[in-house]
């Protein structure tokens, strides 16, 4: 019976054969639109929120193509931490007015396009060549978290350790950076 | 058109948009936004090649993305802390104003 | 433990178990909650429209005008002297003196309005009134859905009998009543004396000895 | 096969109390199968009905809790509480709902109307998403995800951004201040919350919430339930989780983001009418979700507290535990005053996070020793000694100094 079977994966409902392309075709333009907004919007907070939307949609994309673990981690880290950090520092730094940004825009956009269009051309060229590879037809099986854990702590154990050291250093370093220099945090009255 | 080409096209445009943001923005925090977009474009590629590429029992693609996400978070934290320090020093996050070495 | 107010908490010990104070607080609130179901003295809420808390005699809300006897027009103590109107800080009193056809003052108000929306219940009008006419009421249910007419109190709604005052604030009312009674007596006596005097002037001097008696009584 | 046959075939399980909450879902699935719907449609419709069941249950729970909370707080303060609408105030939630729905929806002139509109919706969504993965009963798991716990936390992170959107889009000072407070509080308390859940994941070896509940089956010595709470690391992690969950749900004494006496209503200041009600809905649904997760992780989920009580449907045990946990939240709210922001942050970073990190080695040792006496002997000192050291330090360094009053008598 249908209901007795555990679902397990979020994307299962999409990975039925006739549905597998649809989420990609729907999500990709949305992601690109949100990213375009993040690049284009003059108001910094809007740009940051649109970046969060774009990254969240990428997380949904991962979920639909079977990388559940990565998708959820992406959502947690990018939407829950990175976007919040960016928004928070935007609030603290009170970025300058948008009029200046908009006035500068025609010049900067032309310069930017001159630099990025060749990159885009090269990338599109490479992708169009790659699309013909026979490997594109294969679909790898979905992995379980247990498998991730096993691989992570055997084959990639050194990398895990390095990342752990890096994150610790980052935590201490960021805390030191962000502190007001020469000022000890103080309690108002009673401590 | 295969799923792989869709994902690769997506990541191509995402990367270009990120690059455009980095090149056109002046606010340091918004440049970080562009960098995050580019990182994510790369991540999409890793996932796409794991899913629709040759067999991958070691999960190289997803795990690379996992590490990349961890490092991106670290990078964002340190980057924003640095930007905050700079802001405290110059009262601005506009990179064009940071043209002097002796602050 | 009981519903008595806690005057002073015991001074905190030098070293207690962490969270001990928190637990003590939780015990207190738990007692509050449980005892509220069976101890009536804990619950001080008065269910207002059905139950009412007794009003203290010192409660003063909105002025009213006092009249003697049973006729609110004839017995009105107010003489429309306009002292209260002038003293009222927010100027919420409006008085028009009543005059006869000849333009002579009838010593009573034609219009006496108090605007509830302006009145701040200070009681200055009651303090300054030399005719014991205006007093602070104890009425507090004055709200109405008529925003304009309903909140402007005219003579008809302001007038209350002296009995009402006696009922509302017996001590003050008794004092006023005795004083007024005395003044009335004095006035009557003076009138009587005056009448007697005029009478005496008309009458022969031989009857002088007889009229000295009422004078002595009134003194 | 006729519809009756299908129903009859499913009947023994269909009508049992254990399956009662999933009855609508299964009826819809049987009906759709009977009418020859394709497999994906049956699955999708089943999910929709399951989600609708959960939402219906917890929205009525929200209505009930809003009344029970007011009644309980009133009793704690020796008041009566709402008792006008209906018998003992039972219709108060209905009255509140009508009031909220008919109120004018005000959008400030300086507000960004789209974000202002999106924020209350985005507050409710993660709570409902999180409610979807919790196992409420032996047979009642709305969406049995393999990565349930990760999904729960990932959905929960959306709240921070939506609170920020609410605060920023209102375009005024108090919401902004409230949002900044809320974000810093949520970020700080999310860490101990997640770290204290890690120990459970390590011992269970799975991120699936039903598996975590299944792991806590059975009894020690015949009567002590084998819940994670009754292990040294579980007790430590459970307490940390409890405190952090109060902070995550923005409940008193950690309700600084919306401290009425300081910043009006925090990020909700500029909201009115139904949007304001949505914030409350999100808050209460989040409260249900986080207490449900705590029950799943540490209190054995739907497992019965004593042996021989198997005849009671398991989801009733879950909700009984939830009532107890939520009443304890109310009790705490009625007792403690609000903490100050620096005390709040210091408590999270200097007390909760180190202690939460310590539960990880304790859980690892417990797992490899295999519990029992040896487990107790090794993990209790590991946790108790730092607790004592931390307490002494806290008493020495951070206890408030005795106040001196300049003008008032002490």
Q: By three-state DSSP, how is residue A9 classified?
A: coil
Number of domains in chain A: 2
Tokens of D5: 């046959």
Give the model confidence (pLDDT) of A47-90 as tens digits.
889 999 999 999 988 888 878 888 889 998 898 888 888 888 88
Please give the biggest Cα pair distance in chain B: 55
Question: Residue A20: its pLDDT value, please?
Answer: 65
- Which residues lie across from C93 on neighbouring strands? C114
Instruction: Please give the model's pTM, rounded to 2 decimal places.
Output: 0.80
* Residue A73 domain flag: yes
The answer to whether C83 and C112 are in contact (CB under 8 A) is no
Using a threshold of 3 CB pairs under 8 A, tell whether chains B and A touch: yes
Mean pLDDT of C19-30: 84
Question: Domain residues for C84?
Answer: 63-175
Q: Burial code of D93-116, b = ≥16 C-beta within 10 A, e = fewer?
A: beebeeebeeeeeebbeebbeebb
* Residue C50 domain flag: no
Considering only CA atoms, which of C139, C72, C147 is closest in space to residue C112? Answer: C72
Which of D22-31, D228-237, D291-300 is predicted least confidently? D22-31
* Residue C3 domain flag: no
pLDDT band with cut points at 50, 70 and 90 for residue D238 = very high
* Burial (CB count <10 Å: 0-12, 13-18, 19+), residue D226: middle
* Residue C80 domain flag: yes
What is chain C's alpha carbon radius of gyration, rounded to the nearest angstrom?
29
Question: Residue C2: its pLDDT value, please?
Answer: 45
Question: Residue A183: its pLDDT value, please?
Answer: 56
Closest partner residue to C25 (CB to CB) among D75, D336, D394 is D336
Number of domains in chain C: 1
- Domain with residue A14: its CATH number is 1.20.120.1200
The answer to whether A80 and B76 are in contact (CB under 8 A) is no
Please state, rounded to an integer, the average pLDDT across all residues of chain C: 80
Sign of the alpha-carbon dihedral angle for C49, C50, C53, C56 = positive
* Residue B102 domain flag: no
In three state form, how does the secondary structure of chain C look? CCCCCCCCCCCCCCCCCCCHHHHHHHHHHHHHHHHCCCCHHHCCCCCCCCCCCCCCCCCCCCEEEEECCCCCCCCECCCCCCHHHHHCCCCCEEEEEEECCCCCEEEEEEEEEEECCCCCCCCHHHHHCCCCCEEECCCCCCCCCCCCCCCEECHHHHEEEHHHHHHHCHHHHHHHHHHHHHHHHHHHHHHHHHHHHHHHHHCCHHHHHHHHHHHHHHC
C-facing residues of D in 282-341 (CB < 8 A) are: 331-332, 334-336
Pairing state of beta strands C134-136 and C152-153?
unpaired
Chains that touch D (3 or more CB pairs under 8 A): A, C
Which of A94-98, C64-68, D240-244 is predicted least confidently? A94-98
- Identify the residue among A2, A48, A187 best suited for mutation to test binding to D, counting D beta carbons within 10 A and taking the highest: A2
Give the model confidence (pLDDT) of A127-166 as tens digits.
877 655 554 445 666 677 788 888 888 888 898 999 999 9
Q: Is B70 on the interface with A (CB under 8 A)?
A: yes
Do A89 and A158 lie in a common domain?
A: no
Question: Domain residues for A163?
Answer: 143-178
Q: Is D386 on the interface with C (CB under 8 A)?
A: no
Q: How far is A38 from chain D (nearest CA, A)?
A: 15
* Residue B73 domain flag: yes
- Identify the residue among A4, A51, A72, A152 best suited for mutation to test binding to D, counting D beta carbons within 10 A and taking the highest: A72
Give the model confidence (pLDDT) of C33-45 as tens digits.
888 888 888 888 8
φ, ψ dihedrals at D55, nearest 5°: -65, -40
Give the model confidence (pLDDT) of D271-297 as tens digits.
888 888 898 899 899 999 999 999 999
pLDDT band with cut points at 50, 70 and 90 for residue C205 = low
pLDDT band with cut points at 50, 70 and 90 for residue A2 = very low
Whether C36 sits inside 8 A of D78 (CB atoms) is yes
Question: Residue C218: its pLDDT value, please?
Answer: 47
Question: Domain residues for B78?
Answer: 3-97
* Residue A34 domain flag: yes
Give the model confidence (pLDDT) of D314-336 as tens digits.
888 899 999 999 999 999 988 88
In three state form, how does the secondary structure of chain D look? CCHHHHHHHHHHHHCCHHHHHHHHHHHHHHHHHHCCCCHHHHHHHHHHHHHHHHHHHHHHHHHHHHHHHHHHHHHHCCCCCCCCCCHHHCCHHHHHHHHHHHCCCCCCCCCCHHHHHHHHHHHHHHHHHHHCCCCCCCCCCCCCECCHHHHHHHHHCHHHHHHHHHHHHCCCHHHHHHHHHHHHHHHHHHHHHHHHHHHHHHHHCCCCHHHHHHHCCCEECCCEECCHHHCHHHHHHHHHHHHHHHHHCCCCCCCHHHCHHHHCCHHHCCCCHHHHHHHHHHHHHHHHHHHHHHHHHHCCCCCCCCCCCCCCCHHHHHHHHHHHHHHHHHHHHHHCCCCCHHHHHHHHHHHHHHHHHHHHHHHHHHHHHCCHHHHHHHHHHHHHHHHHHHHHHHHHHHCCCCCCCCCCCC
Tokens of A77: 């880290």
Q: How large a percentage of chain C has pLDDT more than 70? A: 84
For residue C85, pLDDT over 80 is answered with: yes
Tokens of D138: 């032996």
Give the model confidence (pLDDT) of D343-381 as tens digits.
788 888 888 888 888 899 988 888 888 877 888 888 888
Whether A84 sits inside 8 A of D22 (CB atoms) is no
pLDDT band with cut points at 50, 70 and 90 for residue A18 = very low
Residue with the larger pLDDT of the pair D107 and A184: D107
- Domain with residue B38: its CATH number is 1.10.287.3510
Considering only CA atoms, which of D208, D51, D193, D187 is closest in space to residue D128? Answer: D51
State how far the Cα of D163 lies from the Cα of D257, in Å rounded to an integer. 10
Closest partner residue to A47 (CB to CB) among B13, B18, B33 is B33
* Residue B76 domain flag: yes
Question: Residue A185: its pLDDT value, please?
Answer: 52
Give the model confidence (pLDDT) of D185-212 as tens digits.
888 888 899 999 998 988 888 888 888 8
pLDDT band with cut points at 50, 70 and 90 for residue D405 = low
Whether C36 sits inside 8 A of D75 (CB atoms) is yes
The answer to whether C116 and C151 are in contact (CB under 8 A) is yes
Q: By three-state DSSP, how is residue A8 classified?
A: strand
* Residue C19 domain flag: no
* Residue A61 domain flag: yes
Whose tokens are 């008085």? That residue is C95
Whether A52 sits inside 8 A of D161 (CB atoms) is yes
Task: Centre a 10 Å sphere on the Cβ of residue A7 and count the other Cβ atoms it contains.
Answer: 16
CA torsion, points A92, A95, A96, A100, in degrees to nearest 10?
-170
Whether A8 sits inside 8 A of D144 (CB atoms) is yes
A186 DSSP 8-state letter = -
* Residue A107 domain flag: no
- Domain with residue C80: its CATH number is 3.30.70.3270
Give the model confidence (pLDDT) of D121-131 as tens digits.
998 998 888 99
Q: Is D40 on the interface with A (CB under 8 A)?
A: yes
State how far the Cα of D247 lies from the Cα of D341, in Å rounded to an integer. 12
* Residue C167 domain flag: yes
* Residue C56 domain flag: no
Question: Residue D132: its pLDDT value, please?
Answer: 86
Q: Is D161 on the interface with A (CB under 8 A)?
A: yes
Q: Is B101 on the interface with A (CB under 8 A)?
A: no
pLDDT band with cut points at 50, 70 and 90 for residue D398 = low
Number of domains in chain B: 1
Question: Residue A189: its pLDDT value, please?
Answer: 45
Question: Residue D105: its pLDDT value, please?
Answer: 84
**ipTM for the whole complex:** 0.75
């Amino acid at each position: 019976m249908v209901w007795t079977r555990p679902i397990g994966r979020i994307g299962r409902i999409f990975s039925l054969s006739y549905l597998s392309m649809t989420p990609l075709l729907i999500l990709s333009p949305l992601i690109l639109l949100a990213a375009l907004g993040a690049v284009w919007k003059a108001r910094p907070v809007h740009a940051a929120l649109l970046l969060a939307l774009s990254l969240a949609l990428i997380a949904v994309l991962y979920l639909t193509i079977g990388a559940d673990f990565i998708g959820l981690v992406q959502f947690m880290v990018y939407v829950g931490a990175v976007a919040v950090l960016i928004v928070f520092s935007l609030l603290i730094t009170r970025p300058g007015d948008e009029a200046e940004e908009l006035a500068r825009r025609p010049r900067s956009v032309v310069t930017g396009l001159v630099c990025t269009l060749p990159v885009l051309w090269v990338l599109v060229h490479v992708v169009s060549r790659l699309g013909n590879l026979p490997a594109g037809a294969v679909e790898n099986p979905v992995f379980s978290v247990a498998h991730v854990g096993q691989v992570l702590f055997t084959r990639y154990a050194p990398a895990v350790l390095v990342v752990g050291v890096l994150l610790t250093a980052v935590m201490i370093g960021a805390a030191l950076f962000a502190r007001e220099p020469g000022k000890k945090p103080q309690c108002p009255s009673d401590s | 058109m295969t799923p792989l080409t869709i994902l690769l096209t997506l990541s191509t445009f995402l990367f270009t948009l990120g690059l455009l943001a980095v090149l056109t923005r002046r606010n340091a925090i918004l440049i970080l936004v562009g960098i995050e977009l580019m990182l994510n474009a790369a991540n999409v590629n890793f996932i796409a090649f794991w899913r629709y590429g040759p067999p991958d029992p070691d999960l190289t693609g997803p795990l690379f993305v996992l590490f990349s996400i961890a490092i991106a978070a670290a990078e964002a934290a340190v980057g924003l802390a640095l930007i905050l320090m700079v802001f405290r020093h110059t009262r601005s996050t506009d990179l064009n104003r940071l043209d002097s070495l002796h602050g | 433990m009981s519903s008595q107010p806690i005057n002073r908490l015991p001074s905190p010990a030098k070293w207690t178990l962490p969270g001990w104070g928190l637990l003590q607080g939780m015990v207190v609130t738990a007692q509050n909650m449980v005892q509220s179901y069976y101890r009536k003295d804990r619950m001080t809420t008065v269910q207002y429209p059905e139950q009412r808390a007794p009003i203290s005699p010192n409660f003063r809300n909105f002025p009213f005008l006092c009249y003697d006897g049973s006729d609110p027009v004839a017995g009105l103590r107010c003489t429309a002297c306009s002292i209260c109107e002038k003293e009222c800080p927010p100027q919420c009193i409006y008085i028009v003196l009543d005059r006869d056809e000849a333009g002579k003052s009838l010593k009573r108000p034609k219009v006496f309005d108090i605007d509830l929306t302006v009145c701040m219940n200070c009681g200055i009008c009651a303090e300054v009134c030399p005719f014991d006419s205006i007093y602070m009421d104890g009425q507090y249910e004055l709200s109405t859905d008529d925003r304009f007419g309903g909140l402007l109190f005219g003579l008809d709604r302001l007038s209350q009998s002296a009995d009402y005052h006696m009922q509302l604030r017996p001590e003050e009312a008794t004092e006023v009543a005795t004083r007024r009674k005395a003044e009335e007596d004095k006035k009557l006596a003076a009138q009587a004396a005056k009448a007697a005097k005029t009478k005496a002037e008309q009458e022969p001097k031989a009857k002088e000895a007889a009229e000295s008696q009422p004078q002595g009584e009134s003194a | 096969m006729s519809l009756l046959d299908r129903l009859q075939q499913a009947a023994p399980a269909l009508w049992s109390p254990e399956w009662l909450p999933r009855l609508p879902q299964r009826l819809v699935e049987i009906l759709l199968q009977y009418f020859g719907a394709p497999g994906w449609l049956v699955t999708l419709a089943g999910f929709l009905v399951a989600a609708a069941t959960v939402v219906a249950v917890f929205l009525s729970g929200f209505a009930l809790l809003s009344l029970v909370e007011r009644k309980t707080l009133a009793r704690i303060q020796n008041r009566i509480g709402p008792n006008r609408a209906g018998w003992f105030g039972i219709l108060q939630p209905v009255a509140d709902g009508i009031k909220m729905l008919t109120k004018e929806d005000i959008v400030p002139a300086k507000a960004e109307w789209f974000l202002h509109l999106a924020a209350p919706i985005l507050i409710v969504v993660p709570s409902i998403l999180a409610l979807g993965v919790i196992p409420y009963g032996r047979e009642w798991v709305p969406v049995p995800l393999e990565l349930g716990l990760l999904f729960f936390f990932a959905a929960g992170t959306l709240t921070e951004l939506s609170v920020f959107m609410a605060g920023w889009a209102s375009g005024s000072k108090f919401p902004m201040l409230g949002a900044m407070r809320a974000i810093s509080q949520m970020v700080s308390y999310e860490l101990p919350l997640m770290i204290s859940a890690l120990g459970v994941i390590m011992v269970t070896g799975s991120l699936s919430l039903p598996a975590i509940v299944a792991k806590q089956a059975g009894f020690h010595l015949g009567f002590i339930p084998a819940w994670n709470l009754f292990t040294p690391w579980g007790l430590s992690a459970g307490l940390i989780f409890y405190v952090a969950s109060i902070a995550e749900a923005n409940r008193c004494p950690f309700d600084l983001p919306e401290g009425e006496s300081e910043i009006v209503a925090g990020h909700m200041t500029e909201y009115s009418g139904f949007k304001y009600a949505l914030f409350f809905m999100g808050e209460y649904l989040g409260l249900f979700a986080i207490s449900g997760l705590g029950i799943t992780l540490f209190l054995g989920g739907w497992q019965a507290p004593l042996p021989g009580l198997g005849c009671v449907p398991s989801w009733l045990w879950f909700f009984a535990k939830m009532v107890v946990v939520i009443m304890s939240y109310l009790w705490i709210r009625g007792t403690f005053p609000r903490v100050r922001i620096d005390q709040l942050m210091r408590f999270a970073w200097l007390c909760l996070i180190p202690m939460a990190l310590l539960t990880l080695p304790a859980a690892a040792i417990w797992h490899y020793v295999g519990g029992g006496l040896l487990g107790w002997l090794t993990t209790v000192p590991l946790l108790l000694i730092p607790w004592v050291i931390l307490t002494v330090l806290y008493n020495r360094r951070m206890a408030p100094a005795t106040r001196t009053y300049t003008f008032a008598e002490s």
